[in-house]
Structure formats: structure tokens, C-alpha cells
A and B are shown apart, each in its own frame.
Chain A
Amino acid sequence: MDPAFAAGPETTMDLVPNDGTEWWVWPLALFVITFVMGILAVLGGVGGGVLYVPIISGFFPFHLDFVRGAGLLVALTGALAAGPGLLKANLASLRLAMPVALIASSCAIIGAMIGLALPTNIVQTLLGVTILGIVVIMLTAKKAEFPEVEKADALSSALRICGVYTEASTGQKIDWKIHRTPLGLSLFVIIGIMAGMFGLGAGWANVPVLNLLMGAPLKISVATSKFLLSITDTSAAWIYLNKGCVIPMMVVPSLVGIMLGSFVGVRVLKIAKPTFIRWTVIGILTFAGIKALTKGLGIELF
């Protein structure tokens, strides 16, 4: 068993010892890795944090406290970079995002406070199980690109949550509406808590709930999820920021890398086919889930 796991949350969780490497090597490596993450995060509709936290905590010499703080800021900044473009293109829906954000951001504050109090290994193990559970749901889903919604429910009708967008890959105009809104919104209580607790974005859960449960088209779900992270992660990020879990030398190279990557990712998203996006989401989540689970259980798999 990993000694760090056995010793609990107060122990340094890094796997890489301080080997006398020059200080600037790690910030430079962070910049390169997070640039790639920024592109993948937009395509996958996930916050960069869901990739950032397991990968950086596994392969870089930073304590998990700072990785979680930076991870939330990374997810937040990636969403900020992508948000304006997605809103203007009408791929992200403000009317869909606002009621969801109200619930998720409130609960993310609670989650962040719980996450900073719980033992790290428990948080990581739960995270791995959760992400892999989402992967299973997505793999078994039949109609995810354009879910059938026969009738909008009463709540979404009252809130006028609907829209039209042009599918760039086919030129087809897609009218969309949603259903099962009360159940979907209630799930964002759990998603918000988990996002704050794990110190990462919530795109990994947002997309399945918006798409598979509430019936929003995949592109709308991915784009709205990405935009939603800019709100949900803001609330949790402030808790970590106020706690002192932010080191500029870690955060800034990561933020700049993820933002530049997100700019590239948004341009790719406009022309990418939904099927490609779906498999990108699944691949990203599987890797991140296995990494989080093995780390939480103290198994050094990769």
C-alpha cells in the first residue's frame, strides 16, 4: 500500500520526490500539459479539473491541497475562455444553465467545505467510483446525440427552456426542448456537492444529466455544461482561494495553458461531429476515473 494512503490526509500525496530539479521545470511542464488538457476539456464537455487533479497529483510534486485548488481554477478558467464563444454561437443556453447553476453553485460551496475536511484517500476513491459509474451510463445509452423529447415538462415550459441551433456538420436546424426538469435539477444538488468536494469541475456529471436524463442534444449539453462550470466552479474556487490553497507559480502556468487550449478547442467543437465528441468524453472520463480510483486505493497503476 502507498504509505501516503496509509498515513491519511495530512501526508504529502506526491509520488515524485524532490530530486533537485530546477524550480522552473515544473511550471513549464504544467503549461504544456494543461494546453493539451484545454483542447480535450472543451471537446469532452468536462472541466479541465477532472483531468488536471488526477494527472497533476499523480505525476507532479505538488500536494493535493494545491492541486485541488488549482484544479478548480483551471476548470473555471477553461470555462471562462470557452463561455463567450459558446453563448454567442447559441450552443450554450443561459436559460438552461441558470436554474441549474443556482442549485449547483450553492451546493459546490458546501461540497468544498466538506472536501477540505474529509480524508483525501476517501475523497479520491469516491471520485474514481463516481466517474467510472458515469462512463458505464454513457456506454450503455442508446440515443445521446439527439435524444427524443416528446413533450417538454411543465417546469421547463414555464421557464421557457428551449432553443434552436444549427448542427454545423450537417447544416440541419435542431429545435430542442427538455423534460424531467425537476429530477434533473435535484441531481445537481449531488453534482454541486461532489464538484466542490473533489476540487474539480463537474462536466463529467453535467453532460450525462443534461443529455441523457433531461434530453438536451449532445452539443447543447456539452456546451452548456462547459459554460455552467464557469458558475459552479467560481463558488467552490473561492472557498479554496480563501483557504490559501493557491500558489501562483502552480496556478498561472496552468490557467494560461488551459485557456489557450480552450480557445483552440472551441473552434474544433463547432465543426466536430457529435459521435466524435461522445467518444472523446468517454475516453477522457475512463482515464480520469481509473487514475482517481487507483490513487485513492493506494495502487500505483500508471
Chain B
Amino acid sequence: MEIKNNGVNEEQVVYAKVLEAGMYLGLAILFITFAIYIFGIMKPAIPLDHISTLWSQPVHHYLEEINHNFLHLEQGPTGWTWCTLLDKADFLNFIGIALLSGVTIVCFLAIIPVLLRKGDKVYATMALVEALILILAASGILQAGH
């Protein structure tokens, strides 16, 4: 087994570096978009003084209410609908959240070439399958709820 960087496997180092970069990028975007939101640089879809009256309700009531009062979409903002609302400061925050939720997928894709070069087909396959599972979860195809 190829060992580098003070006893740490090469693929582990690659994974860590990609994870670190994605994490910092996601965090930076999160800081910036949240600052835009709370300092009123862009207008939110849901006014700040209204949000505290909504977060105590079940999710389906919350979605119905914000859609009826503020968004006026055909359906509530589930799945990837937030991508169509990026001109609103509150939904802009979903960019950072999605990046942080998606960086692991990139990590697994990044280590596949390393594992294949080392001839570790079992772990390369595992990394590919894991990435596909996470992509499926992120896709919004899987529906859940009452």
C-alpha cells in the first residue's frame, strides 16, 4: 500500500484537501450571503420580522404560508426551487448550504483516479457508488413526508 505524508494514505490526503477547500469555500459563501441577508443589502422573499412568526409551524404549513403570502409560485419552494429564487437574500443562503452539503460528492469523485492508479479497484468502486448514492439523495427524486 502506498503511504505518503507521514503515514497517511495518498487518497486520504487528496480527500482531505478537497474537503478542506470545499468546506472553506462553502463557509465563505455562507458568511457573505448571510451578511447580505441580515444587513439588508438584498431584499429577502420573507421579511425578517415575519420569519419568527413562521418557524414554529410544521413545514407544510410554513411552505404554504410563505408561498401564499410572499412567493406566489405554482408549488411551494421544495427541492431545487431555491435556484429560481436567488434574487432574494434569504434563498441566496442556499448556495452555501448546498455547497457544504455537496462537497463530499466531489471528494469521492476526486479520489477515484488515485485509487485506480494504485490498482485499488474495490475502493474505487466504493467511492463511485457512494458518489452516486449522494447524487441520488441530492437530486430531489426521492420524496418523503406525511
Which A residues have a C-beta under 8 Å from some C-beta of B?
A: 9-12, 14, 18, 21, 23-24, 26, 61-63, 65-66, 69, 73, 76-77, 80-81, 83-84, 87-88, 90, 93-95, 98-99, 101-102, 105-106, 109, 112-113, 116-117, 159-160, 163-165, 230-231, 234-239, 241-252, 255-256, 259
Given contacts A241-B97, A246-B94, 12 further A-B contacts (CB under 8 A): A23-B49, A23-B51, A84-B19, A84-B20, A105-B134, A113-B143, A117-B144, A117-B146, A165-B7, A235-B133, A248-B93, A255-B30
Given contacts A90-B7, A248-B93, contact A256 B56 (CB under 8 A): no
Q: Is residue B23 contacting chain A, with contact meaning CB distance below 8 A? A: yes
13 contacts between A and B (CB under 8 A): A9-B146, A11-B58, A24-B38, A87-B15, A98-B130, A109-B133, A109-B136, A109-B137, A159-B122, A234-B104, A234-B137, A242-B138, A247-B54
Which residues of B have CB within 8 Å of A93? 12
Q: Give which listed residue, A14, A77, A249, contacts B100 with CB less than 8 A.
A: A77
Asked if B31 and A256 make an inter-chain contact with CB atoms under 8 angstroms apart, the answer reads: yes
Given contacts A234-B101, A247-B51, contact A109 B129 (CB under 8 A): no
Report the bound CA distance from A246 to B126 in whole Å: 30
| Cβ-closest chain B residue relative to A68 | B59
Which residues of B have CB within 8 Å of A252? 30, 34, 37, 93, 96-97
Asked if A87 and B8 make an inter-chain contact with CB atoms under 8 angstroms apart, the answer reads: yes
Asked if A242 and B140 make an inter-chain contact with CB atoms under 8 angstroms apart, the answer reads: yes
Which residues of A have CB within 8 Å of B70? none
Asked if B126 and A98 make an inter-chain contact with CB atoms under 8 angstroms apart, the answer reads: yes
Q: Give which listed residue, A23, A230, A259, contacts B52 with CB less than 8 A.
A: A23
Most buried by B among A73, A80, A165: A80
Given contacts A87-B12, A112-B144, A116-B146, contact A247 B104 (CB under 8 A): no
Given contacts A66-B59, A88-B16, contact A243 B78 (CB under 8 A): yes
Report the bound CA distance from A255 to B76 in whole Å: 25
The count of A-to-B residue pairs whose CB atoms sit within 8 angstroms is 196
Which B residues have a C-beta under 8 Å from some C-beta of A?
A: 1, 5-9, 11-13, 15-17, 19-20, 22-23, 26-27, 30-31, 34, 37-38, 48-49, 51-59, 62-63, 76-80, 90-91, 93-94, 96-98, 100-105, 111, 122-123, 126-127, 129-130, 133-134, 136-138, 140, 142-146
Q: Give which listed residue, B23, B30, B55, B133, contacts A84 with CB less than 8 A.
A: B23
Main secondary structure of the interface of B (DSSP, over half): helix
Which residues of A have CB within 8 Å of B142? 109, 113, 239, 242
Q: Give which listed residue, A73, A84, A245, contacts B16 with CB less than 8 A.
A: A84
Which residues of A have CB within 8 Å of B122? 159
Which residues of B have CB within 8 Å of A112? 144
Which residues of B have CB within 8 Å of A14? 56
| Cβ-closest chain A residue relative to B30 | A252
Q: Give which listed residue, B79, B101, B133, B146, contacts A105 with CB less than 8 A.
A: B133
Which residues of A have CB within 8 Å of B104? 80, 230-231, 234
Distance in Å: Cβ of A241 to nearest Cβ of chain B = 6
Asked if B56 and A12 make an inter-chain contact with CB atoms under 8 angstroms apart, the answer reads: yes
Which residues of B have CB within 8 Å of A163? 7
Which residues of A have CB within 8 Å of B51? 23, 247, 249
